[in-house]
Amino acid sequence: MADLGYIGLGTMGGRMAVRLLANGHRVTGYNRTRARAQPLVDHGLQLAGSPRAVVEAADVTFVMVSDSAALNAVADGRDGHDGFIAGVAPGKTVIDMSTVSPALSRALAARVRERGGEMLDAPVSGSVLTLEQGKLSIMVGGDRAAFDRVRPLLEDIGPTVTYVGGNGLAVAMKIATNISVAVQMLAFAEGVALAEKSGIARDTAVGVMTRSAIGSPMLQYRGPFVLQMPDNAWFSTDMMQKDLLLALEMGRQLQVPLPTTAAANEWLTAARAMGLGERDFAAVFQALERAAGVQS
- 31 and 159 in one domain? yes
Q: How many domains does the chain have?
A: 2
CA distances (Å), 236 to each of 14, 15, 198, 268, in order? 17, 17, 29, 10
Q: What percent of the chain has pLDDT over 90?
A: 85
DSSP three-state, residue 236: strand
- 256 and 161 in one domain? no
Could you tell me the pLDDT band of residue 53, with boundaries at 50, 70 and 90? Answer: very high
- 246 and 152 in one domain? no
Return the pLDDT at 294. 81
Euclidean distance between the first and final Cα of the chain, in Å? Answer: 51
Q: What is the pLDDT of residues 28-46, one digit of tens each?
A: 999 988 888 888 998 899 9
- 145 and 8 in one domain? yes
Q: Is the whole-model pTM more than 0.75?
A: yes
Task: Choose between 5 and 42: higher pLDDT.
Answer: 5
CA distances (Å), 273 to each of 238, 242, 249, 270, in order? 11, 15, 22, 5
Q: Please give the mean pLDDT across all residues of the chain.
A: 94
Maximum distance among all Cα pairs of the chain, rounded to whole angstroms: 65
- 143 and 90 in one domain? yes
Q: What percent of the chain has pLDDT over 70?
A: 99
CATH number of the structural domain spanning residue 60: 3.40.50.720
- 150 and 187 in one domain? no
φ/ψ of 90, rounded to 5, equals: -50, 135
* Domain end residue (candidates: 141, 166, 191): 166
Return the pLDDT at 80. 77
* Domain end residue (candidates: 166, 184, 199): 166
Residue 56: how many CB atoms within 10 A of its CB?
A: 18
Could you tell me the pLDDT band of residue 125, with boundaries at 50, 70 and 90? Answer: confident
The contacts of residue 175 (CB under 8 Å, 6+ apart) are 99, 102, 243, 246, 247, 250
Could you tell me the pLDDT band of residue 296, with boundaries at 50, 70 and 90? Answer: low
Q: What is the pLDDT of residues 153-189, one digit of tens each?
A: 999 999 999 999 999 999 999 999 999 999 999 999 9
CATH number of the structural domain spanning residue 243: 1.10.1040.10
Among the residues of the chain, which ranges form H helices?
Answer: 11-22, 34-41, 51-57, 68-76, 84-87, 102-114, 128-132, 144-157, 169-197, 202-210, 217-222, 237-254, 259-273, 284-292
φ/ψ of 196, rounded to 5, equals: -65, -40
- 18 and 124 in one domain? yes
CA distance 37 to 41: 7
Decide: 203 and 195 in contact? Cβ < 8 Å: no
**Mean pLDDT to the nearest integer, 261-286:** 97
Return the pLDDT at 133. 81
Q: What is the pLDDT of residues 230-251, one digit of tens each?
A: 998 989 999 999 999 999 999 9
* Domain end residue (candidates: 140, 166, 192): 166
Please tell me the least confidently modeled range out of 71-80, 83-92, 154-163, 276-285.
71-80
Decide: 164 and 170 in contact? Cβ < 8 Å: yes
Catalytic residues: 174
Q: Indicate if the pLDDT at residue 282 is higher than 90.
A: yes
- 11 and 36 in one domain? yes
